[in-house]
Structure 1
Amino acid sequence: MNIRRKLPPLAALTAFEAAARVRSFTKAAAELGVTQAAVSRQIHLMEETLGFPLFRRLHRSIELTDKGQVLSTAATSAFNLMADTIAELTREEDEGALSISATLAISHFWLMPKIASFSRLYPDSRLRIVSQDSAAGLGGSDFAIRYGNGAWPDGRAEYLFDDELFPVCSPEYAAKLGSAPTLEDIARQPLISYDSQNPSWIGWEEWLAAFSIKLAKAPSGLRTSFYTEAVYAALSGQGIALGWKRLLQNLLDTRSLIRLTEQSIVTRDGYFLIVPPRSANNTKALQFIEWLKTEAAD
Protein backbone atom coordinates (compact mmCIF):
# COMPACT_ATOMS: atom_id res chain seq x y z
CA MET A 1 0.00 0.00 0.00
CA ASN A 2 1.35 3.43 -0.98
CA ILE A 3 1.58 5.34 2.31
CA ARG A 4 1.98 8.67 0.48
CA ARG A 5 -1.63 8.41 -0.69
CA LYS A 6 -2.73 8.59 2.95
CA LEU A 7 -0.63 11.66 3.79
CA PRO A 8 -1.26 15.35 3.04
CA PRO A 9 1.36 17.13 0.91
CA LEU A 10 4.67 17.38 2.79
CA ALA A 11 4.76 21.20 2.54
CA ALA A 12 1.32 21.42 4.16
CA LEU A 13 2.28 18.94 6.87
CA THR A 14 5.47 20.88 7.62
CA ALA A 15 3.55 24.16 7.89
CA PHE A 16 0.95 22.56 10.14
CA GLU A 17 3.53 21.01 12.48
CA ALA A 18 5.35 24.33 12.92
CA ALA A 19 2.16 26.37 13.43
CA ALA A 20 0.76 23.84 15.91
CA ARG A 21 4.01 23.74 17.88
CA VAL A 22 4.49 27.53 18.18
CA ARG A 23 0.73 28.34 18.18
CA SER A 24 1.14 31.04 15.57
CA PHE A 25 1.02 31.25 11.78
CA THR A 26 3.36 34.27 11.89
CA LYS A 27 6.03 32.57 14.03
CA ALA A 28 5.75 29.40 11.94
CA ALA A 29 6.34 31.48 8.81
CA ALA A 30 9.46 33.03 10.36
CA GLU A 31 10.76 29.61 11.36
CA LEU A 32 10.19 28.16 7.87
CA GLY A 33 11.43 31.22 6.01
CA VAL A 34 8.16 31.83 4.14
CA THR A 35 5.34 34.35 4.37
CA GLN A 36 2.46 34.12 6.83
CA ALA A 37 0.08 33.90 3.87
CA ALA A 38 1.97 30.85 2.55
CA VAL A 39 1.60 29.06 5.88
CA SER A 40 -2.10 29.92 6.01
CA ARG A 41 -2.60 28.58 2.46
CA GLN A 42 -0.82 25.31 3.20
CA ILE A 43 -2.89 24.69 6.33
CA HIS A 44 -6.10 25.53 4.50
CA LEU A 45 -5.08 23.03 1.79
CA MET A 46 -4.44 20.41 4.47
CA GLU A 47 -7.82 21.03 6.11
CA GLU A 48 -9.52 20.65 2.72
CA THR A 49 -7.62 17.40 2.08
CA LEU A 50 -8.53 15.95 5.48
CA GLY A 51 -12.09 17.24 5.52
CA PHE A 52 -12.04 18.79 8.99
CA PRO A 53 -10.61 21.94 10.66
CA LEU A 54 -7.27 21.77 12.45
CA PHE A 55 -7.37 25.22 14.09
CA ARG A 56 -9.89 27.58 15.56
CA ARG A 57 -9.08 31.08 14.28
CA LEU A 58 -9.60 33.49 17.16
CA HIS A 59 -9.33 37.29 17.11
CA ARG A 60 -5.57 37.52 17.66
CA SER A 61 -4.55 33.92 18.14
CA ILE A 62 -5.17 30.36 17.05
CA GLU A 63 -5.85 27.19 18.98
CA LEU A 64 -5.91 23.57 17.91
CA THR A 65 -9.14 21.66 17.55
CA ASP A 66 -9.32 18.26 19.25
CA LYS A 67 -8.41 16.49 16.01
CA GLY A 68 -5.74 19.08 15.35
CA GLN A 69 -4.16 18.37 18.75
CA VAL A 70 -4.04 14.62 18.06
CA LEU A 71 -2.45 15.20 14.65
CA SER A 72 -0.03 17.77 16.07
CA THR A 73 1.31 15.28 18.62
CA ALA A 74 1.78 12.64 15.93
CA ALA A 75 3.40 15.06 13.47
CA THR A 76 5.86 16.49 15.99
CA SER A 77 6.83 12.98 17.15
CA ALA A 78 7.40 11.90 13.55
CA PHE A 79 9.49 14.96 12.70
CA ASN A 80 11.54 14.55 15.89
CA LEU A 81 12.15 10.88 15.07
CA MET A 82 13.37 11.81 11.59
CA ALA A 83 15.57 14.60 12.97
CA ASP A 84 17.11 12.31 15.60
CA THR A 85 17.75 9.59 13.02
CA ILE A 86 19.39 12.00 10.57
CA ALA A 87 21.45 13.53 13.39
CA GLU A 88 22.62 10.10 14.49
CA LEU A 89 23.58 9.13 10.93
CA THR A 90 25.41 12.42 10.49
CA ARG A 91 27.14 11.85 13.79
CA GLU A 92 28.34 8.44 12.63
CA GLU A 93 29.80 9.99 9.47
CA ASP A 94 31.58 12.61 11.56
CA GLU A 95 32.76 10.17 14.21
CA GLY A 96 35.13 11.73 16.71
CA ALA A 97 33.68 15.25 16.58
CA LEU A 98 31.83 16.54 19.63
CA SER A 99 28.54 18.20 18.64
CA ILE A 100 26.95 20.97 20.71
CA SER A 101 23.40 22.22 20.16
CA ALA A 102 22.62 25.81 21.15
CA THR A 103 20.31 28.63 20.17
CA LEU A 104 21.47 31.11 17.54
CA ALA A 105 22.11 33.76 20.20
CA ILE A 106 24.18 31.56 22.51
CA SER A 107 26.23 29.97 19.73
CA HIS A 108 26.78 33.23 17.84
CA PHE A 109 27.54 35.66 20.66
CA TRP A 110 28.91 33.50 23.49
CA LEU A 111 30.14 30.08 22.33
CA MET A 112 31.75 30.75 18.95
CA PRO A 113 34.17 33.46 20.19
CA LYS A 114 35.52 30.95 22.73
CA ILE A 115 36.02 27.93 20.48
CA ALA A 116 39.57 28.91 19.51
CA SER A 117 40.73 28.54 23.11
CA PHE A 118 39.34 24.99 23.26
CA SER A 119 41.11 24.10 20.01
CA ARG A 120 44.41 25.39 21.40
CA LEU A 121 44.02 23.31 24.57
CA TYR A 122 42.79 20.17 22.82
CA PRO A 123 44.04 20.21 19.21
CA ASP A 124 43.04 16.57 18.70
CA SER A 125 39.38 17.25 19.54
CA ARG A 126 36.96 18.51 16.89
CA LEU A 127 33.74 20.38 17.57
CA ARG A 128 30.55 20.74 15.55
CA ILE A 129 28.15 23.54 16.52
CA VAL A 130 24.47 22.91 15.78
CA SER A 131 22.68 26.29 15.92
CA GLN A 132 18.90 26.27 16.35
CA ASP A 133 16.27 29.00 16.32
CA SER A 134 14.40 27.59 19.31
CA ALA A 135 15.20 25.78 22.56
CA ALA A 136 18.15 23.52 21.83
CA GLY A 137 17.22 19.85 21.53
CA LEU A 138 19.79 17.11 21.89
CA GLY A 139 18.88 14.96 18.89
CA GLY A 140 22.15 13.22 18.08
CA SER A 141 24.30 15.93 19.73
CA ASP A 142 26.70 15.23 22.57
CA PHE A 143 25.59 18.34 24.48
CA ALA A 144 23.04 21.13 24.47
CA ILE A 145 23.30 24.59 25.99
CA ARG A 146 19.91 25.85 27.21
CA TYR A 147 18.42 28.72 29.12
CA GLY A 148 15.86 27.77 31.77
CA ASN A 149 15.46 26.37 35.27
CA GLY A 150 17.66 23.31 34.77
CA ALA A 151 14.80 20.79 35.01
CA TRP A 152 15.00 18.75 31.80
CA PRO A 153 14.49 14.99 31.53
CA ASP A 154 16.95 14.21 28.75
CA GLY A 155 20.25 14.71 30.57
CA ARG A 156 22.17 16.05 33.54
CA ALA A 157 22.05 19.85 33.77
CA GLU A 158 25.40 21.48 34.58
CA TYR A 159 24.89 25.09 35.69
CA LEU A 160 26.92 27.65 33.72
CA PHE A 161 25.73 31.15 34.67
CA ASP A 162 22.77 33.48 35.06
CA ASP A 163 22.59 36.83 33.29
CA GLU A 164 21.95 40.54 33.76
CA LEU A 165 19.72 42.64 31.48
CA PHE A 166 19.94 46.35 30.66
CA PRO A 167 19.26 48.66 27.67
CA VAL A 168 21.96 48.90 24.98
CA CYS A 169 22.36 50.80 21.71
CA SER A 170 25.03 51.91 19.27
CA PRO A 171 27.46 54.70 20.27
CA GLU A 172 25.88 56.99 17.66
CA TYR A 173 22.40 56.42 19.04
CA ALA A 174 23.66 56.96 22.60
CA ALA A 175 25.17 60.30 21.55
CA LYS A 176 21.77 61.45 20.28
CA LEU A 177 20.17 60.61 23.65
CA GLY A 178 22.66 62.67 25.60
CA SER A 179 24.20 61.83 28.95
CA ALA A 180 22.37 59.77 31.60
CA PRO A 181 18.95 59.24 29.96
CA THR A 182 16.24 58.27 32.43
CA LEU A 183 14.20 55.10 32.11
CA GLU A 184 11.25 57.27 31.07
CA ASP A 185 13.43 58.72 28.28
CA ILE A 186 14.41 55.23 27.17
CA ALA A 187 10.78 54.01 27.21
CA ARG A 188 9.87 56.74 24.70
CA GLN A 189 12.54 55.63 22.20
CA PRO A 190 12.13 52.97 19.47
CA LEU A 191 12.55 49.75 21.45
CA ILE A 192 13.81 46.79 19.45
CA SER A 193 12.00 43.60 20.46
CA TYR A 194 12.09 40.01 19.31
CA ASP A 195 9.96 36.89 19.31
CA SER A 196 10.95 34.10 21.67
CA GLN A 197 9.53 30.63 22.04
CA ASN A 198 11.06 30.44 25.53
CA PRO A 199 8.63 31.97 28.05
CA SER A 200 11.52 32.47 30.49
CA TRP A 201 13.18 35.06 28.26
CA ILE A 202 12.51 38.60 29.42
CA GLY A 203 11.14 41.29 27.11
CA TRP A 204 10.75 45.04 27.36
CA GLU A 205 7.36 44.96 29.09
CA GLU A 206 8.64 42.82 31.96
CA TRP A 207 11.94 44.72 32.21
CA LEU A 208 10.27 48.13 32.43
CA ALA A 209 7.62 46.82 34.84
CA ALA A 210 10.44 45.93 37.26
CA PHE A 211 10.96 49.71 37.59
CA SER A 212 7.23 50.56 37.66
CA ILE A 213 7.21 51.87 34.08
CA LYS A 214 4.51 50.83 31.64
CA LEU A 215 5.30 50.04 28.04
CA ALA A 216 3.20 52.00 25.56
CA LYS A 217 0.30 50.01 24.10
CA ALA A 218 1.69 50.49 20.61
CA PRO A 219 5.45 50.92 21.18
CA SER A 220 7.56 52.14 18.29
CA GLY A 221 10.57 50.15 17.23
CA LEU A 222 11.56 47.19 15.12
CA ARG A 223 10.39 43.66 16.00
CA THR A 224 12.55 40.76 14.84
CA SER A 225 12.18 37.00 14.79
CA PHE A 226 15.40 36.25 16.69
CA TYR A 227 17.54 37.92 19.35
CA THR A 228 20.56 37.95 17.02
CA GLU A 229 18.60 40.15 14.60
CA ALA A 230 17.61 42.50 17.44
CA VAL A 231 21.27 42.92 18.38
CA TYR A 232 22.30 43.69 14.81
CA ALA A 233 19.46 46.20 14.57
CA ALA A 234 20.84 47.94 17.67
CA LEU A 235 24.37 47.85 16.22
CA SER A 236 23.10 49.61 13.09
CA GLY A 237 21.47 52.39 15.14
CA GLN A 238 17.83 51.44 14.70
CA GLY A 239 16.91 51.84 18.37
CA ILE A 240 17.48 50.36 21.82
CA ALA A 241 17.63 46.64 22.58
CA LEU A 242 17.73 44.69 25.82
CA GLY A 243 21.29 43.57 26.36
CA TRP A 244 21.97 40.17 27.91
CA LYS A 245 25.34 40.93 29.48
CA ARG A 246 26.97 37.49 29.24
CA LEU A 247 25.96 37.14 25.60
CA LEU A 248 27.06 40.62 24.56
CA GLN A 249 30.17 41.09 26.72
CA ASN A 250 32.52 41.23 23.71
CA LEU A 251 30.41 43.93 22.05
CA LEU A 252 30.25 45.89 25.29
CA ASP A 253 34.01 45.59 25.88
CA THR A 254 34.75 46.97 22.40
CA ARG A 255 32.08 49.65 22.85
CA SER A 256 30.30 48.47 19.73
CA LEU A 257 27.27 48.61 22.01
CA ILE A 258 26.78 51.08 24.86
CA ARG A 259 25.06 50.34 28.16
CA LEU A 260 22.61 53.20 28.71
CA THR A 261 21.79 52.95 32.41
CA GLU A 262 23.01 51.42 35.64
CA GLN A 263 19.56 49.91 36.26
CA SER A 264 19.39 46.22 35.45
CA ILE A 265 17.64 43.04 36.45
CA VAL A 266 19.16 39.62 37.07
CA THR A 267 17.48 36.68 35.36
CA ARG A 268 15.44 34.21 37.36
CA ASP A 269 16.76 31.30 35.32
CA GLY A 270 20.19 30.52 33.98
CA TYR A 271 22.20 28.84 31.25
CA PHE A 272 22.94 25.13 31.60
CA LEU A 273 24.97 22.54 29.74
CA ILE A 274 22.84 19.43 29.21
CA VAL A 275 24.88 16.22 29.32
CA PRO A 276 23.02 13.10 28.12
CA PRO A 277 23.96 9.72 29.64
CA ARG A 278 25.90 8.69 26.51
CA SER A 279 28.33 11.61 27.03
CA ALA A 280 28.80 11.27 30.77
CA ASN A 281 31.93 9.07 30.69
CA ASN A 282 33.48 9.96 27.34
CA THR A 283 37.03 11.29 27.85
CA LYS A 284 36.78 14.02 25.20
CA ALA A 285 33.33 14.97 26.43
CA LEU A 286 34.62 15.34 29.98
CA GLN A 287 37.40 17.61 28.68
CA PHE A 288 34.81 19.78 26.96
CA ILE A 289 32.63 19.95 30.10
CA GLU A 290 35.60 21.03 32.22
CA TRP A 291 36.66 23.64 29.66
CA LEU A 292 33.15 25.06 29.21
CA LYS A 293 32.54 25.39 32.95
CA THR A 294 35.86 27.20 33.31
CA GLU A 295 34.90 29.61 30.53
CA ALA A 296 31.50 30.16 32.14
CA ALA A 297 33.08 30.96 35.51
CA ASP A 298 35.61 33.36 33.99
Structure 2
Amino acid sequence: MGTRRKLPPLTALTAFESAARLESFTKAANELGVTQAAVSRQIHLLEAYFGFALFVRGHRKVELTDKGRVLALASQDAFDIIASSVSELTTDAQDVDLTIAATVAFSHFWLLPRISEFSRNHPGINLRILTQDSFPNIESAEIDIAIRFGSGMWADGQASLLFEDEVFPVCSPSFAQSAGHISTPNDLLAHPLISYTADDPTWTGWSEWLAAFAVELPKRKSGLRCSFYTEAIYAALNGQGIALGWRRLVEDLLVQGRLIRLTNSTVQTRNAYFAIVPKRRRQTEACRLFQVWLGETAGK
Protein backbone atom coordinates (compact mmCIF):
# COMPACT_ATOMS: atom_id res chain seq x y z
CA MET A 1 0.00 0.00 0.00
CA GLY A 2 1.42 3.39 -0.99
CA THR A 3 1.97 6.24 1.40
CA ARG A 4 -1.04 8.52 1.62
CA ARG A 5 -0.50 11.93 0.04
CA LYS A 6 0.12 14.67 2.58
CA LEU A 7 -2.66 17.18 1.96
CA PRO A 8 -3.83 20.21 3.97
CA PRO A 9 -7.41 20.30 5.32
CA LEU A 10 -9.58 20.37 2.20
CA THR A 11 -12.28 22.58 3.73
CA ALA A 12 -9.65 25.18 4.54
CA LEU A 13 -8.10 24.78 1.08
CA THR A 14 -11.50 25.35 -0.55
CA ALA A 15 -11.94 28.59 1.39
CA PHE A 16 -8.41 29.67 0.49
CA GLU A 17 -8.85 28.95 -3.24
CA SER A 18 -12.04 30.99 -3.36
CA ALA A 19 -10.55 33.92 -1.42
CA ALA A 20 -7.39 33.91 -3.54
CA ARG A 21 -9.34 33.82 -6.81
CA LEU A 22 -11.80 36.51 -5.75
CA GLU A 23 -9.20 38.53 -3.80
CA SER A 24 -11.69 38.95 -0.96
CA PHE A 25 -12.75 37.02 2.14
CA THR A 26 -16.23 38.55 1.88
CA LYS A 27 -16.72 37.53 -1.76
CA ALA A 28 -15.43 34.05 -0.95
CA ALA A 29 -17.94 33.78 1.88
CA ASN A 30 -20.78 34.76 -0.48
CA GLU A 31 -19.63 32.20 -3.06
CA LEU A 32 -19.35 29.41 -0.49
CA GLY A 33 -22.55 30.33 1.38
CA VAL A 34 -20.85 30.86 4.74
CA THR A 35 -19.93 33.85 6.88
CA GLN A 36 -16.86 35.99 6.36
CA ALA A 37 -15.69 34.95 9.81
CA ALA A 38 -15.87 31.28 8.80
CA VAL A 39 -13.69 31.92 5.75
CA SER A 40 -11.20 33.87 7.86
CA ARG A 41 -11.10 31.05 10.42
CA GLN A 42 -10.44 28.40 7.77
CA ILE A 43 -7.59 30.42 6.27
CA HIS A 44 -6.07 30.92 9.75
CA LEU A 45 -6.19 27.13 10.17
CA LEU A 46 -4.44 26.69 6.82
CA GLU A 47 -1.75 29.21 7.76
CA ALA A 48 -1.23 27.40 11.05
CA TYR A 49 -0.92 24.12 9.12
CA PHE A 50 1.81 25.53 6.89
CA GLY A 51 3.46 27.74 9.48
CA PHE A 52 3.51 30.87 7.31
CA ALA A 53 1.15 33.62 6.14
CA LEU A 54 -0.79 33.19 2.92
CA PHE A 55 -2.33 36.67 2.82
CA VAL A 56 -1.30 40.18 3.76
CA ARG A 57 -4.38 41.69 5.41
CA GLY A 58 -5.12 45.30 4.50
CA HIS A 59 -7.84 47.65 5.68
CA ARG A 60 -10.14 47.03 2.71
CA LYS A 61 -8.50 44.20 0.81
CA VAL A 62 -6.23 41.18 1.13
CA GLU A 63 -3.23 40.32 -1.02
CA LEU A 64 -1.47 37.01 -1.46
CA THR A 65 2.04 36.57 -0.16
CA ASP A 66 4.64 35.03 -2.48
CA LYS A 67 4.02 31.60 -0.97
CA GLY A 68 0.29 32.25 -1.10
CA ARG A 69 0.51 32.86 -4.86
CA VAL A 70 2.27 29.52 -5.36
CA LEU A 71 -0.43 27.71 -3.41
CA ALA A 72 -3.19 29.65 -5.21
CA LEU A 73 -1.98 28.57 -8.65
CA ALA A 74 -1.66 24.95 -7.56
CA SER A 75 -5.07 24.86 -5.85
CA GLN A 76 -6.84 26.57 -8.76
CA ASP A 77 -5.34 24.08 -11.22
CA ALA A 78 -6.38 21.18 -8.98
CA PHE A 79 -9.96 22.43 -8.52
CA ASP A 80 -10.27 23.11 -12.28
CA ILE A 81 -9.22 19.53 -13.04
CA ILE A 82 -11.67 18.12 -10.47
CA ALA A 83 -14.52 20.30 -11.78
CA SER A 84 -13.80 19.26 -15.37
CA SER A 85 -13.74 15.58 -14.42
CA VAL A 86 -16.99 15.86 -12.46
CA SER A 87 -18.64 17.61 -15.38
CA GLU A 88 -17.49 14.91 -17.78
CA LEU A 89 -18.59 12.08 -15.48
CA THR A 90 -22.02 13.53 -14.80
CA THR A 91 -22.81 14.54 -18.36
CA ASP A 92 -24.89 12.21 -20.49
CA ALA A 93 -22.52 10.60 -22.98
CA GLN A 94 -25.04 11.34 -25.71
CA ASP A 95 -25.31 15.03 -24.84
CA VAL A 96 -21.82 16.58 -24.70
CA ASP A 97 -21.41 20.29 -25.43
CA LEU A 98 -18.32 21.71 -27.12
CA THR A 99 -17.75 25.44 -27.62
CA ILE A 100 -15.46 26.59 -30.43
CA ALA A 101 -14.40 30.22 -30.82
CA ALA A 102 -13.21 31.66 -34.13
CA THR A 103 -13.28 34.88 -36.10
CA VAL A 104 -16.30 35.67 -38.26
CA ALA A 105 -14.27 35.18 -41.46
CA PHE A 106 -12.75 31.86 -40.42
CA SER A 107 -16.11 30.52 -39.21
CA HIS A 108 -17.96 31.67 -42.31
CA PHE A 109 -15.54 30.66 -45.04
CA TRP A 110 -13.61 27.69 -43.60
CA LEU A 111 -15.15 26.14 -40.50
CA LEU A 112 -18.89 26.08 -41.18
CA PRO A 113 -18.62 24.60 -44.72
CA ARG A 114 -16.64 21.67 -43.29
CA ILE A 115 -17.94 21.08 -39.78
CA SER A 116 -20.90 18.93 -40.82
CA GLU A 117 -18.41 16.10 -41.41
CA PHE A 118 -17.44 16.17 -37.73
CA SER A 119 -21.09 16.26 -36.63
CA ARG A 120 -21.94 13.25 -38.79
CA ASN A 121 -19.07 11.26 -37.29
CA HIS A 122 -19.80 12.37 -33.70
CA PRO A 123 -23.58 12.89 -33.38
CA GLY A 124 -23.41 12.88 -29.57
CA ILE A 125 -21.34 16.10 -29.46
CA ASN A 126 -23.36 19.33 -29.55
CA LEU A 127 -21.29 22.07 -31.18
CA ARG A 128 -21.58 25.74 -30.29
CA ILE A 129 -19.73 28.16 -32.58
CA LEU A 130 -18.78 31.45 -30.92
CA THR A 131 -17.85 33.98 -33.61
CA GLN A 132 -16.12 37.20 -32.62
CA ASP A 133 -13.10 39.00 -33.99
CA SER A 134 -11.69 39.85 -30.56
CA PHE A 135 -9.65 37.23 -28.69
CA PRO A 136 -11.45 36.24 -25.46
CA ASN A 137 -9.34 34.69 -22.71
CA ILE A 138 -10.19 31.02 -23.12
CA GLU A 139 -9.18 30.17 -19.55
CA SER A 140 -11.86 32.45 -18.08
CA ALA A 141 -14.47 32.17 -20.85
CA GLU A 142 -16.54 29.04 -21.46
CA ILE A 143 -14.51 28.07 -24.53
CA ASP A 144 -13.16 24.59 -25.14
CA ILE A 145 -11.08 25.37 -28.20
CA ALA A 146 -10.31 28.56 -30.12
CA ILE A 147 -8.93 29.10 -33.61
CA ARG A 148 -6.68 32.13 -33.92
CA PHE A 149 -4.41 33.75 -36.46
CA GLY A 150 -1.11 34.92 -35.08
CA SER A 151 2.33 33.90 -33.88
CA GLY A 152 1.13 30.95 -31.77
CA MET A 153 2.38 32.58 -28.56
CA TRP A 154 -0.59 33.22 -26.28
CA ALA A 155 -0.48 33.19 -22.48
CA ASP A 156 -3.97 31.75 -22.01
CA GLY A 157 -3.63 28.59 -24.04
CA GLN A 158 -1.56 25.91 -25.69
CA ALA A 159 -1.32 26.32 -29.47
CA SER A 160 -1.16 23.71 -32.24
CA LEU A 161 -0.40 24.80 -35.81
CA LEU A 162 -3.20 24.28 -38.33
CA PHE A 163 -1.83 25.97 -41.45
CA GLU A 164 -0.10 29.04 -42.86
CA ASP A 165 -1.64 31.19 -45.58
CA GLU A 166 -0.94 33.36 -48.60
CA VAL A 167 -2.70 36.47 -49.90
CA PHE A 168 -3.44 37.47 -53.51
CA PRO A 169 -6.01 39.60 -55.42
CA VAL A 170 -9.39 38.08 -56.31
CA CYS A 171 -12.54 39.26 -58.07
CA SER A 172 -15.65 37.90 -59.71
CA PRO A 173 -15.43 36.43 -63.24
CA SER A 174 -17.72 39.19 -64.57
CA PHE A 175 -15.52 41.93 -63.09
CA ALA A 176 -12.38 40.33 -64.53
CA GLN A 177 -13.97 40.21 -67.97
CA SER A 178 -14.94 43.89 -67.88
CA ALA A 179 -11.61 44.98 -66.35
CA GLY A 180 -9.48 43.59 -69.14
CA HIS A 181 -5.84 42.58 -68.88
CA ILE A 182 -4.41 42.60 -65.33
CA SER A 183 -1.07 40.85 -64.89
CA THR A 184 1.00 42.86 -62.39
CA PRO A 185 0.37 44.45 -58.96
CA ASN A 186 0.73 47.88 -60.56
CA ASP A 187 -2.13 47.08 -62.98
CA LEU A 188 -4.47 46.74 -60.00
CA LEU A 189 -4.30 50.49 -59.26
CA ALA A 190 -6.45 51.24 -62.33
CA HIS A 191 -9.41 49.45 -60.72
CA PRO A 192 -11.52 49.75 -57.54
CA LEU A 193 -9.81 47.98 -54.64
CA ILE A 194 -12.10 46.68 -51.90
CA SER A 195 -10.59 47.15 -48.44
CA TYR A 196 -11.71 46.28 -44.93
CA THR A 197 -11.01 47.46 -41.40
CA ALA A 198 -8.93 44.80 -39.65
CA ASP A 199 -8.89 44.79 -35.84
CA ASP A 200 -5.97 42.39 -36.03
CA PRO A 201 -2.76 44.26 -37.01
CA THR A 202 -1.22 41.00 -38.30
CA TRP A 203 -3.72 40.89 -41.18
CA THR A 204 -2.47 42.16 -44.53
CA GLY A 205 -4.19 45.14 -46.15
CA TRP A 206 -3.72 46.66 -49.60
CA SER A 207 -0.95 49.04 -48.52
CA GLU A 208 1.13 46.20 -47.06
CA TRP A 209 0.39 43.84 -49.92
CA LEU A 210 1.32 46.33 -52.67
CA ALA A 211 4.41 47.46 -50.75
CA ALA A 212 5.75 43.90 -51.02
CA PHE A 213 6.02 44.57 -54.77
CA ALA A 214 7.35 48.13 -54.42
CA VAL A 215 3.98 49.62 -55.40
CA GLU A 216 2.55 52.50 -53.38
CA LEU A 217 -1.19 52.72 -52.75
CA PRO A 218 -2.47 56.23 -53.60
CA LYS A 219 -3.91 58.12 -50.62
CA ARG A 220 -7.20 58.76 -52.44
CA LYS A 221 -7.77 55.41 -54.08
CA SER A 222 -11.28 54.56 -55.25
CA GLY A 223 -12.94 51.45 -53.93
CA LEU A 224 -15.42 50.18 -51.39
CA ARG A 225 -14.30 50.12 -47.73
CA CYS A 226 -15.93 47.47 -45.53
CA SER A 227 -16.03 46.89 -41.80
CA PHE A 228 -15.33 43.14 -42.00
CA TYR A 229 -13.43 40.78 -44.26
CA THR A 230 -16.61 38.81 -44.99
CA GLU A 231 -18.20 41.97 -46.40
CA ALA A 232 -15.18 42.61 -48.61
CA ILE A 233 -15.38 39.11 -50.10
CA TYR A 234 -19.13 39.41 -50.72
CA ALA A 235 -18.55 42.77 -52.40
CA ALA A 236 -16.00 41.08 -54.67
CA LEU A 237 -18.47 38.26 -55.40
CA ASN A 238 -20.99 40.91 -56.45
CA GLY A 239 -18.56 42.48 -58.91
CA GLN A 240 -17.81 45.66 -56.97
CA GLY A 241 -14.04 45.46 -57.35
CA ILE A 242 -10.93 43.54 -56.36
CA ALA A 243 -10.35 42.17 -52.84
CA LEU A 244 -7.42 40.48 -51.18
CA GLY A 245 -8.09 36.76 -50.99
CA TRP A 246 -6.64 34.72 -48.16
CA ARG A 247 -6.21 31.39 -49.89
CA ARG A 248 -7.35 29.19 -47.00
CA LEU A 249 -10.51 31.26 -46.61
CA VAL A 250 -11.49 31.69 -50.27
CA GLU A 251 -10.28 28.39 -51.74
CA ASP A 252 -13.83 26.96 -51.89
CA LEU A 253 -15.01 30.05 -53.81
CA LEU A 254 -12.06 29.69 -56.20
CA VAL A 255 -12.82 26.00 -56.80
CA GLN A 256 -16.49 26.85 -57.41
CA GLY A 257 -15.48 29.53 -59.93
CA ARG A 258 -17.30 32.25 -58.02
CA LEU A 259 -14.01 34.09 -57.54
CA ILE A 260 -10.93 34.09 -59.72
CA ARG A 261 -7.35 34.96 -58.91
CA LEU A 262 -5.70 37.98 -60.52
CA THR A 263 -1.92 38.02 -61.21
CA ASN A 264 0.60 35.41 -60.11
CA SER A 265 1.80 37.70 -57.31
CA THR A 266 1.30 36.43 -53.79
CA VAL A 267 2.39 37.34 -50.27
CA GLN A 268 3.10 34.60 -47.76
CA THR A 269 1.80 35.47 -44.30
CA ARG A 270 4.28 35.78 -41.44
CA ASN A 271 1.76 34.30 -39.02
CA ALA A 272 -0.48 31.24 -39.20
CA TYR A 273 -3.73 29.70 -37.96
CA PHE A 274 -3.58 27.80 -34.67
CA ALA A 275 -5.96 25.74 -32.55
CA ILE A 276 -5.77 26.88 -28.91
CA VAL A 277 -6.86 24.92 -25.84
CA PRO A 278 -6.79 26.16 -22.22
CA LYS A 279 -3.58 25.30 -20.37
CA ARG A 280 -5.08 24.79 -16.93
CA ARG A 281 -8.18 22.84 -17.80
CA ARG A 282 -8.38 19.10 -18.32
CA GLN A 283 -9.29 18.39 -21.93
CA THR A 284 -12.45 16.39 -22.53
CA GLU A 285 -12.67 13.53 -24.99
CA ALA A 286 -14.94 15.68 -27.17
CA CYS A 287 -12.30 18.40 -27.32
CA ARG A 288 -9.60 15.86 -28.18
CA LEU A 289 -11.72 14.42 -30.99
CA PHE A 290 -12.36 17.88 -32.41
CA GLN A 291 -8.64 18.70 -32.34
CA VAL A 292 -7.88 15.50 -34.25
CA TRP A 293 -10.54 16.37 -36.83
CA LEU A 294 -9.22 19.92 -37.15
CA GLY A 295 -5.70 18.71 -37.78
CA GLU A 296 -6.79 16.14 -40.36
CA THR A 297 -9.07 18.59 -42.18
CA ALA A 298 -6.46 21.36 -42.17
CA GLY A 299 -4.03 18.98 -43.89
CA LYS A 300 -6.38 18.21 -46.78
Partner Cα distance (1:198, 1:281) in 2: 28
% identity of equivalent residues? 52
The answer as to 2:107 corresponding to 1:140 is no
Letter in 2 for 1:124: G
| Alignment partner of 1:246 is 2:248 | yes
Q: CA deviation at 1:133?
A: 3.2
Could you tell me which amino acid in structure 2 is paired with residue 117 of structure 1? Answer: E
1:146 partner amino acid: R
**C-alpha displacement of 1:187:** 1.9
Report the counterpart of residue 98 of structure 1 in structure 2: 98
1:169 aligns with 2:142: no
Residue type of the partner of 2:179?
L
Name the count of aligned residue pairs.
207
* Offset of residue 181 of structure 1: 3.2
Partner Cα distance (1:210, 1:137) in 2 = 33
Comparing 171-180 with 265-274, which one deviates more in the overlay? Answer: 171-180
Please state if 1:262 is matched with 2:264: yes
Name the counterpart of 1:79: none
Moved more, 142-151 or 180-189: 180-189
Give the counterpart of 1:213 among 215, 221, 237: 215
Report the Cα distance in structure 1 between the residues aligned to 2:224 and 2:215, rounded to whole angstroms.
20
Aligned-partner Cα distance in 1 for 2:205–2:262: 17
- The answer to which of 121-130 and 166-175 deviates more is 121-130
Partner of 2:274: 272
8 A Cα contact 1:279 1:285, kept in partner? no
For the residue of structure 1 that corresponds to 2:258, the secondary structure is: coil
Structure 1, gaps ≥5 residues long? 1-92
Name the CA shift for 1:268/1:108 in 2 (closer, same or farther; >3 Å): same
Structure 2 stretches lacking a partner, 5+ long: 1-90
| Greater radius of gyration (CA) | 2
- What residue number does 1:201 align with? 203
Cα distance in 2 between the residues matched to 1:214 and 1:161: 29
The Cα shift of 1:289 comes to: 0.3
Would you say the 8 A contact 2:137–2:156 is kept in 1? Answer: no
Question: Under a length normalisation based on structure 1, what TM-score does the superposition of the two structures give?
Answer: 0.66
- Render the CA deviation track for 1:100-119: whole Å, top value 9, x for unaligned: 01110000000000111101
Map of 1:149 onto structure 2: 151
Partner of 1:81: none
Aligned to 1:224: 226
Distance 1:258 1:137, change over 3 A: farther
Provide, for residues 273-296 of structure 1, a one-character-per-residue CA deviation record: whole Å limited to 9, x for no partner. Answer: 111136553111110000001111
The CA RMSD measured in Å over matched residues stands at 1.9
1:287 corresponding residue in structure 2: 289
- The 1:158–1:192 alpha-carbon spacing in structure 2 relative to 1, beyond 3 Å, is same
Q: Tell me: CA distance 1:279–1:257, structure 2 relative to 1, closer, same or farther (3 Å).
A: farther
